[in-house]
Amino acid sequence: FEIPKGADVVKPSRSKELPPSDPDWLYVRTASMVRKVYIRAGTGVGGFRKVYGGQQRRGTQTKHFCKSSGKVARYVLQQLEEMGLVEQDENGG
């Protein structure tokens, strides 16, 4: 599994203010995504964006749900597909 350049400065979601402080956050996310694919097959990038999304704090305004980064989910799924742990479904996902 290859870590892309700039993984230490990328935010996993628009709702986050800072990038993760754990240097191994991408490995943890990958393990979590493999587990979720095992439990619920057919989950795609859009589903993972919802799962890993969160409440965006907007100051005095009410909180608003926003999805997580699609680039991170797409990259992890592509890496897992190269490793042979995940394969694409005929119907998408």
pLDDT interval class at 17 (50, 70, 90): confident
Task: Give the pLDDT of residue 80.
Answer: 92
46 backbone dihedrals φ, ψ, rounded to 5°: -60, -40
Q: Whole-angstrom Cα distance, residue 65 to residue 36? A: 21
pLDDT tier at 5 (50, 70, 90 boundaries)?
confident
pLDDT of residue 57: 86
Mean pLDDT, the chain, rounded, equals 88
pLDDT reported for residue 93: 62
Q: How does pLDDT run across 39-53, given as a tens digit for each residue?
A: 988 888 999 999 999
